[in-house]
Amino acid sequence: MTDSLHSRMHVVSDETRNLVNLVLEYSRRRTLAEDTPLDHPTSETELRRLAGPTVTEEGLGSARALAIFEHIFAPACISTDHPKYLSFIPSAPTKAAVAFDLVVSASALYGGSWLEGAGVVHAENEVLRWLAGEFGLPAGAGGVFVQGGTIGNLSALVAARNAQKEKLGEARPGRWVIVCSAEAHSSVASAAEVMDVDIAPVVTGEDGILRPDGVREALAEHGDAVIAVVATSGTTNFGTIDDIAGIAALKDEFDFWLHIDGAYGLAAMLSPQARHKFAGVEQADSLIVDPHKWLFAPFDACALIYRDPNSGRRAHTQKAEYLDTLTDAQDWSPSDFAIQLTRRPRGLPLWYSLASYGAETYREAIGHSIDLAREIATEINHREHLRLVREPELSVVVFERDGWQRADYDAWSDRLLEDQRAFVVPSSHKGRPNARFAIVNPLTTFDGLTDILDSME
């Protein structure tokens, strides 16, 4: 045994056959389960007590390790694919996408370069081209799947800064500036912090929509220091869509990079019910949308698409002697288009799901969430003790319960999860606490939502 210990983890043996069978059987049960509980977090002390030390010199064995995961660690995590997981932005991966994520891991695929992953890069690029077409971008548009919206926004803004540097040459301002809504996602401010650039937040009206007048003032004030204007197509808190067409029209007056943060909401362009709301997206220089949100892929995937992919390549291609084989070639290597080098082909589960079910099924699933949001908003309006904060734009519904303070919302939310009734955490707007439904799961029902409303009486 000692002589073969170095290869034990990699050879095909009775031990590894048993291990793989155990994992595949668990994955089968979990993927096909129709009654997966919401579950709930557990304290560190309790987890330590229940599981004991799990990383030891001798190892626990595959059966014991899986049992600890299945019965202790997994139940201490909330199931984000549950139909009553309605907080933040849920995840609702299709069965095809979940199953194919296993294939991706099992196939030892590297998705950073064409040389090493031509087939998977081709498949990912087909999805990216399809998305670009849905968003109205030109035929040459393209990009890469990155980890999430934060990395997508950061990578796009780095490319925007590089483009502005190229345009200005030596005549550069003391500080670069990003223009965005005061209600822009926190990842934009995070990107600015990482890049050491400034934010010029534009105050919005009561509806939270970023409009061209405020953007025009910021562009006039900051001039060539502006590396990008960021518009949001579906804010996380409300699903609000900025006046993208109006902002894009400013390109006739100013030369600026337009980036669309569509991490959650841009997927709604696939639905005929909402497509008209996104006029102007076709003028974007870059955009993002997260498949792990409303495109039903597993964590983690963000599609970053450039109008001119070469602008991303010039900003992000890494140079090193050991990379000469890649950088000397003109092949499409995904690592050239974002802040990453090593990457798994995280777009493949979405590709397989789209290839399996077809785009029409996606359109119907997204449309279901939009319709359901409108339906439950109407129900909220009919209940005397409830009040909508705003009419839903997409599939996020925000409402208040008369007379409740933050402590009331917290206690209500805790009871819902303790009773395994739903996961709905409180939110807030302008200092006022509220409740919020984020609806993306096609299995979420009107009856399930009204049951939650009933619990507020």
The pLDDT of residue 93 is above 90: yes
326 pLDDT band (50/70/90 cuts)? confident
pTM: predicted TM-score of the whole model, two decimal places: 0.96
Here the tokens at position 243 are 């006046």
The pLDDT of residue 3 is above 70: no
Instruction: Check residue 265 and report its DSSP letter.
Output: G
Instruction: Work out the average pLDDT over 88-99.
Output: 97
Q: For 112-156, what is each residue's pLDDT tens digit?
A: 999 999 999 999 999 999 999 999 999 999 999 999 999 999 999
321 pLDDT band (50/70/90 cuts)? confident
The predicted structure's pLDDT at residue 330: 79
Class level of CATH domain 359-454: alpha beta
Q: For 33-82, what is each residue's pLDDT tens digit?
A: 999 999 999 999 999 999 999 999 999 999 999 999 999 999 999 999 99
Beta sheet of 432-438, edge-to-edge order: 386-388, 396-401, 432-438, 427-429
The pLDDT of residue 324 is above 80: no
Beta sheet of 302-306, edge-to-edge order: 142-146, 302-306, 286-289, 258-261, 226-232, 177-181, 198-202
Q: Strand locations in 197-342, DSSP E?
A: 198-202, 226-232, 258-261, 286-289, 302-306
Residues in the chain: 457
The predicted structure's pLDDT at residue 61: 97
Here the tokens at position 79 are 């199931």
Q: For 197-220, what is each residue's pLDDT tens digit?
A: 999 999 999 999 999 999 999 999
CB 141 within 8 A of CB 129: yes
**What's the CATH number of domain 100-356, 3.40.640.10, 3.90.220.20, 3.40.50.450, 3.30.710.10?**
3.40.640.10
Instruction: Work out the average pLDDT over 409-419.
Output: 98
